[in-house]
Amino acid sequence: MKHHTVLRIVTKLIIPLILLFGLYIQFHGDYSAGGGFQAGVIIASGFILYNIIFGLEVGFSILSINMTKNLMAIGVLLYIAVGFMGIIQGLNFLEYNSLLSSSKEGQLLGIFLVELGVGLTVSNVMILIFYSFNNMGEKL
Amino acid sequence: MLYVLNMTLFLIGLFIIVRESNLIKKVIGLNIFQSSVFIFYILISKVEGGVPPIISADQSIYSNPLPHVLILTAIVVSIATTSLALALIIRIKDKYGTIEEDDIDLG
Amino acid sequence: MIPHLSFLLFSIFLLYLIRNKSFSGLIHILISFISFLFSIHILINKNIFLYKEVNVIEVLENIVISFNLDYLGLVFLVVSNGLWFMTSIYTNRYLKLNDYPRHGKFFIFFLISMMSTNAIIYSANLFTTFIFYEILTIATYPLVTFKSDEKSILSGKKYLYYLLGTSIIFLLPAIIITYNVTGTLTYTENGIFSTHDYNLINLLIILFLFGVAKSAVMPFHKWLPTAMVAPTPVSALLHAVAVVKSGVYILVKIMIYIFGLNVLKKTGADLFILFASLTIILSSIIALKQDSIKLRLAYSTIGQLSYIILGVAILAPYSILASILHIIFHALGKITLFLVSGSIATQTGIKNVTKMDGLSSRLPYTCLLMSLGAFIMVGLPPTIGFISKWYLVIGIIESNQLYLLILIIASTILNASYYFPLIYRSYFMPNSINSEIKNEEDVQLIAPVIIIGLISIILFFNLDSIIMFLEENIILK
Amino acid sequence: MNQIPILIITLPLLLTPILLLIRKINIVYALTLIVSFINISLILALGAEVYNNGSIIYELGGWPAPIGIRLNADLLSCYFLTFINVISFLCLVSSKDIIKHQIHEDNIYLFYIAWLLCNIGFSGIVLTDDIFNLFVFLEISSLSSYFLISQANYKGTLLAAMQYLFIGSIGAVFILLAIGILYAHTGTLNMHDLAMKIGQAKFSESIVFALGLLLAGVGIKSALFPLHGWLIKTYAYAPSIVTTYFAGTSTKIGVYILLRVFLDILNSINPLEYYGLAQFILFISLLGVFLSTLYAVKQKEVKKMLAYSSVAQLGYIIIAIMLLIPDGLTASLIHVVNHSIIKTGLFLIIAVIFINNQNVIIEDLSGLGKKYPILMSCFFILGLGLIGLPITSGFISKWYIITAMLKSEYWYFTFIVLLTSFMTLSYVWVLIEKIYFATNDNDDAINNISIYQMFCIITLTVMTIYLGLETSLTSGIAENISNDFYGVTGK
């Protein structure tokens, strides 16, 4: 669809906005509506839009299938690593209070990192699903 | 009344899953089926006169936020199920050349 | 007890290691001899060994695998181990003459069967008995199907379904009910039932009677004739002595030590008498129609086993004495007959009664032994079979159940009418098939049988001591 | 010590992304095994702790209930955890040589990830103290199990996976809806809290509706009689090692949920007694036991035969529970473990010998007794266990089940149990006869059974005999649990 000029221009204009909105949702998740799940899906939708318009080859050059898998894994790892921080410091799993000196800031940092992990994983999973359905030959 | 509608949706979904032979339609039925339950959760979270549960000074009645959170998880599960089902359907199409359950010949 | 059992267990492994060697038969003889020595040792030092309970492992709450020996068990122990020794000599020769493959396997399972028989004799409670009862069934299965042809596999299946099936459907629930009602399964003097719920006891009696199908009480007797496809030593030792006798032994133990004679006096003894009498008569009638020697013997066994049950069920001291004597005497007589039929089949190929014409000229000693066995079975003097029947009659008179005399007389006539054709044909009918062939009688094959025959004759003239011993220790207790 | 419950879930969870990054078969295999092994030791430690000092409650993120999500490791959880993880470990150990033949090499790491996720799901279901979390873990395990099942390249595999997906999802949604209704009535999702509040909640028809939904959902998961169709297909068409794994675990999870929900959480309203549910299920299960045993007798395919036998054995378990007496619960708990071990062993032997063969018919077993003497003696012993003959663990469970039935008001049904166990004898014996007496005409080469697989099978066999002689591990703990269940409510 590269030759649809309107689509191309509009897409180029709109993708930064989508990503920005995704990031907004991501970072505001800890004290208002939103969070990693929604943000991940929104960011993925921006990326998928890009793929639809400019073709899969371009998409792969930015983010290959293996890369999405790796990022997915890293997202989960981040989540669990934060969880384990609590255990290492002698508290319960996912207890963030001790991440920083004051418990309130610790809470903030903890939920932020966890949401980041969730967002990373969700967006990459969405992209991966998109990729997989595109190359039907390749197995999930 | 809403609950009745909701349960109608529930039964429609169930009916499609059981009745349809086309696997894609079955997946759609499954989605309707699941959505009806999600809507049920949203219905029970509604509090008379409540507003969205974002804390502000001039409001004291909120809708119950917990079911929303729960249903978020359930939606994720539903997405996973759907995508897995679709992936399976693609492989079924590859292997048997059809997605009509009745036409698949195992013999 | 424990050394004896562990010796047998150890021997299984020994035999497994040498299973492919030709001398495994000799080892088997040696093992059986040592086992026999063990039983003699226990007999001599009975004051040390008897009534010493040994617990092995507590499986469930209050349910322990444990061993204990009483006088009743002692009698059976000596008989079965002695006959095992004799049969093992015979078996070794028999397998060689008949060219059976896989000797090693045969001896292993034979040994396992005898070990379980010994364990059944030693067992101190119903639970232990049940465990080894099942092991005995499974261990004899490969022996029944030893020929591995279609017929024997089919018979083996029938054998297994009958024995395991009845034990699953009748015996197991009977044991569980007993445990739940009484809280124990240990064999105790005078029984463990104190309940007066006679319906329950009658139900249990039926369950036990059908459940211990090894005692071959009708209607679950069919396995015994089908098991006759097995090689003769198996039929002889296991299906005339070890397996069926342990079935009867278990029933006798259940009657005396689980229900207790006092309870049986009030209710239930009639049930035993009813089924036993039916079995005695019906099996004799069926035996009349059998042409195959082994099948005739099998149906005769079914009838004779019910004599033992009948004897205990009459509940008079002398009838119980008769039962115990009959365990010994029937074992001696029937094993003689089976071994003889096996030697006849091995040496001449004759398996049917109608083909036995003039056999005595070909196998004189064998036929002599056969007549001896037949006399014991019918119960004619001067053989020991007469003694047990004598005491049974005394018991019947003592307990005033005179109608049973008719039964005894009828069954004796029937016994005679299906045993005498064997003797008549082999001695007095002219040999139809080429009478010129003079068979050499195989010494190794016939020697153990002669010994058993001699023992039975010697026993007849030295009965006082045995009866004294039994009276002192079992009846008067 | 008190971190153990979460570690049991998170350690494998931590491993999954790492595996996703590594993808090398051998390392993946080794790491999976190591983590599973660590898990088992953790579980044993946890079990010992719980047995001695009572249940451990773990608050995720330090939030107290009912706000936070908790894990609750009580005796029942530990009991299920232990055998599920041991079976998972044994199957994993023997999986390597089998799946190499069935799955494309590039996907093997995904296979192990899915396996781990499935096991995490099982562990999570058993450990969680939050009824919604139970649903989430259930879905985690179900989704990964759909994936695992679809990995074989047999003819009907994909369709079987698809059908399982649909019916499994329907079951899950039923459970979800039921949870929603319960939540609407009580306003809590925490199991302890729910257990307290459900008694005070106003009675209404919708609770009955929720119970029905729950029963249907759980019934699907545990292959309760009329809902067992998926089990036969999945067992027959899944990769053989997955069948082995599921035979011992997945349906038992259904049993766990049944126990947890109906006998623990909802105990205060006596759902089973009050609505006559117990009797209904009891009759249905009796019918189910009888019919599925009959089907098993008629089956020509070994895997389907064993699958029908599983349905029948699950029927025993459900029947024992539905007697609603402590002995019944004890019996069912004992049978859960014993049957798992026996069935896993049987399926594992089939899986190891017939690596590429989905359609194993009875004739294929001909003459195996000579080819694999040790394996087949294990098969024989496990078969005896399935029948329930003495000195195997199957005997102990049968003893308890019959005892329980005789003690209950349904003693006259004992006859059906006895009859079906006789029928079990008949179909097991058909196999054994084939193994030892039939001569085989096709000279297939003897598979190389690796020493690990041998080790697993022998371990399972030895466990069968050990649990048949020394019962304090099963019946002792099971009695404790059922006393807890029935003691507290004073029945």
pLDDT at residue A138, rounded to an integer: 45
pLDDT at C440: 62
**pLDDT above 70: residue C385:** yes
**Cβ distance of A32 and B87 shorter than 8 Å:** no
Please say if the pLDDT value at position D356 is more than 80. Answer: no
Interchain proximity B83–A32, CB inside 8 Å: no
Interface size, chain C vs chain D, as Cβ–Cβ contacts under 8 Å? 66
φ, ψ at D266 (rounded to 5°): -95, 15
Please say if the pLDDT value at position D491 is more than 50.
no
B73 Cβ under 8 Å from any chain D Cβ: yes
Q: How far is D199 from chain C (nearest CA, A)?
A: 36
Residue C399 confidence (pLDDT) above 60 = yes
Q: What is the pLDDT of residue B105?
A: 67
Q: Is D331 exposed, middle or buried (0-12, 13-18, 19+ CB in 10 A)?
A: buried
Chain D nearest-CA residue for A139: D107
- Collect all residues of chain A within an 8 Å Cβ-Cβ radius of residue D20: 69-70, 72-73
Model confidence, pTM: 0.89
Q: How far is D441 from chain B (nearest CA, A)?
A: 25
Chain B residues in contact with chain A using a Cβ-Cβ cutoff of 8 Å: 52, 54, 72, 76, 83-84, 86-87, 90-91, 94
Q: Which residue of D has its CA nearest to C171?
A: D418
Q: Do B90 and A129 touch (CB under 8 A)?
A: no
Q: Is pLDDT of D316 > 60?
A: yes
List the single best residue of B2, B81, B104 to mutate versus D (max D Cβ within 10 A). B81
Check: CB of residue C31 under 8 Å from CB of residue D443.
Answer: no
pLDDT band at D490 (very low <50, low <70, confident <90, very high): very low
Q: Which of C57, C142, C176 lies nearest to residue D399, judging by beta carbons? A: C176
Q: Best-predicted range by mean pLDDT among B76-80, C148-152, D119-123?
A: D119-123
Cα separation, B42 vs B36, in Å, equals 10
Share of chain B above pLDDT 90, in %: 18
pLDDT at D327: 87
Which residue in B33, B84, B88 is closest to D173 by CB distance?
Answer: B33
Phi/psi of residue D215, nearest 5 degrees: -60, -45
Cβ atoms of C65 and C55 within 8 Å: the answer is yes
pLDDT-derived band at C394 (thresholds 50, 70, 90) equals: confident
Which tops the pLDDT comparison, D272 or C213?
Answer: C213
The token pair that represents D228 in the structure block: 């067992």
C145 interfacial to chain D (CB closer than 8 Å) = yes
In terms of CA atoms, which chain D residue is nearest residue B104?
Answer: D159
What would the two tokens of residue D227 be? Answer: 């809902």
Q: Which residues contact D377 (CB under 8 A, 6 or more apart)?
A: none
HSE of C418, CA atoms in CB hemisphere, 13 A:
27
Cα separation, C356 vs C422, whole angstroms: 7
Count B/D contacts: CB-CB distance under 8 Å.
69
Report the pLDDT averaged over residues D78-105.
87
Residues in contact with C86: Cβ distance below 8 Å, sequence separation at least 6, in sequence order: C335, C448, C449, C451, C452
Contacts of A129 in chain B (CB under 8 A): 83
Interhelix angle D157-186/D229-237, rounded to 10 degrees, is 140
The pLDDT tens digits for A81-90 are 888 877 777 7
What pLDDT is recorded for position D130?
87
Residue D410 confidence (pLDDT): 82
Q: By the 8 A CB rule, do D316 and D401 touch?
A: yes
pLDDT of D340 above 90 = yes
For chain C, what is the mean pLDDT? 81
3-class secondary structure, C59: strand
Mean pLDDT (whole number) for D438-464: 80
Mean pLDDT of chain B: 83
- Do residues D5 and D45 touch, judged by C-beta distance below 8 A? no
Residue C251, Cβ neighbours under 10 Å: how many? 26
pLDDT score of C476 more than 70: no
- Chain B residue numbers with beta carbons less than 8 Å from the beta carbon of D183 are 44, 67
The pLDDT, as a whole number, for residue D41 is: 92
For residue B80, which residues of chain D lie inside 8 Å, CB to CB? 139, 143
Inter-chain residue contact A96 with D16, CB threshold 8 Å: no
Say whether pLDDT at D201 is over 80: no
Q: What is the pLDDT of residues C10-42, one digit of tens each?
A: 777 777 767 666 677 788 888 888 888 888 888
For chain A, helix (H) and strand (E) counts, in that order, are 5, 0
Q: Where are the beta strands (DSSP E) in chain A?
A: none
Cis peptide before C382 (omega within 30 of 0): yes
Choose from D1, D2, D3 for mutation: most chain A CBs within 10 A: D3
- What is the reported pLDDT for D103? 80
Q: Are D461 and D345 in contact (CB under 8 A)?
A: yes
Residue pair A100/A57 in contact by the 8 Å Cβ criterion: no
> Chain A: residue nearest B86 by CA?
A133
For residue C371 the two structure tokens come to 């007549």
Question: Residue B106: its pLDDT value, please?
Answer: 65
Q: Is C134 on the interface with D (CB under 8 A)?
A: yes
Distance from CA of D356 to the nearest CA of A (A): 21
The pLDDT of residue D483 is 82
User: Which pLDDT value is given to residue D122?
Assistant: 93
Residue-wise pLDDT tens digits, D226-282: 888 888 888 888 888 899 999 888 889 999 998 888 888 887 777 777 777 888 888
Sign of CA pseudo-dihedral B65, B69, B70, B71: positive
Of D132, D165, D180, the CB nearest to B88: D165
Chain D contact for B72, CB < 8 A? no
* Max avg pLDDT among C343-357, D119-133, D195-209, D211-225: D119-133
8 Å CB contact between D94 and D453: yes
Q: Tell me the percentage of chain C whose pLDDT exceeds 90.
A: 0
Question: Using the beta-carbon criterion (under 8 Å), do D17 and A80 form an inter-chain contact?
Answer: yes
Q: Determine the pLDDT at residue D35.
A: 92
| pLDDT higher than threshold 50 for residue D191 | yes
Which whole number is the average pLDDT over C105-131? 87
Grade residue D489 by pLDDT with cuts at 50, 70 and 90: very low
Residue boundaries of the structural domains of chain B: 2-47+62-103
Long-range interactions of D192-198: CB distance < 8 A, separation 24+ = D192/D65, D192/D72, D192/D129, D193/D65, D193/D66, D194/D131, D194/D265, D195/D264, D195/D265, D195/D266, D195/D267, D195/D268, D196/D268, D198/D265, D198/D266, D198/D268, D198/D269
DSSP state, residue D301: B
Of the ranges C5-14, C202-211, D195-204, the best mean pLDDT one: C202-211
Q: What was the pLDDT predicted at A140?
A: 39
Mean pLDDT of D405-415: 85
- Residue C6: per-residue pLDDT: 76
- Whether D60 and A94 lie within 8 Å, measured CB to CB: yes
Burial of residue C136 (number of CB atoms within 10 Å: 0-12, 13-18, 19+):
buried
Would you say residue C275 has pLDDT above 50?
Answer: yes
Chain A residues closer than 8 Å to D10 by CB = 80, 83-84, 93
pLDDT (tens digit per residue) in C136-191: 888 888 888 887 788 888 888 888 888 888 888 888 888 888 888 888 888 887 77
Mind listing the pLDDT tens digit for each residue in D64-85?
766 778 888 888 899 999 999 9
CATH class in words for B2-47+62-103: mainly alpha
Residues of chain A with pLDDT under 50: 137-140
Pairing assessment for the beta strands C54-60 and C63-67 based on DSSP bridges: antiparallel
Q: Do chains C and B touch (3 or more CB pairs under 8 A)?
A: no
Flag whether pLDDT at D1 surpasses 70. Answer: no
Q: Which residue of B has its CA nearest to D157?
A: B92
Residue D126 is predicted with a pLDDT of 92
Q: Which of D384, D398, D399 to mutate to test the interface with C (most CBs of C within 10 A)?
A: D399
* B81 and D143 Cβ atoms separated by less than 8 Å: yes
> What average pLDDT does range D141-162 have in this prediction?
88
CB C359 within 8 A of CB C426: yes
Q: Minimal Cα–Cα distance from D8 to chain B, Å?
A: 22
Residue type, C193: F
D426: closest CA of chain A, how far (Å): 44
Largest CA distance in chain B: 69
Q: Output the pLDDT for position A139.
A: 43
| A136 interaction partners in chain B (CB closer than 8 Å) | 90, 94
Q: Look up residue C132 and give its two tokens.
A: 């080894």
Q: How far apart are CA C297 and CA C357, in angstroms?
A: 18
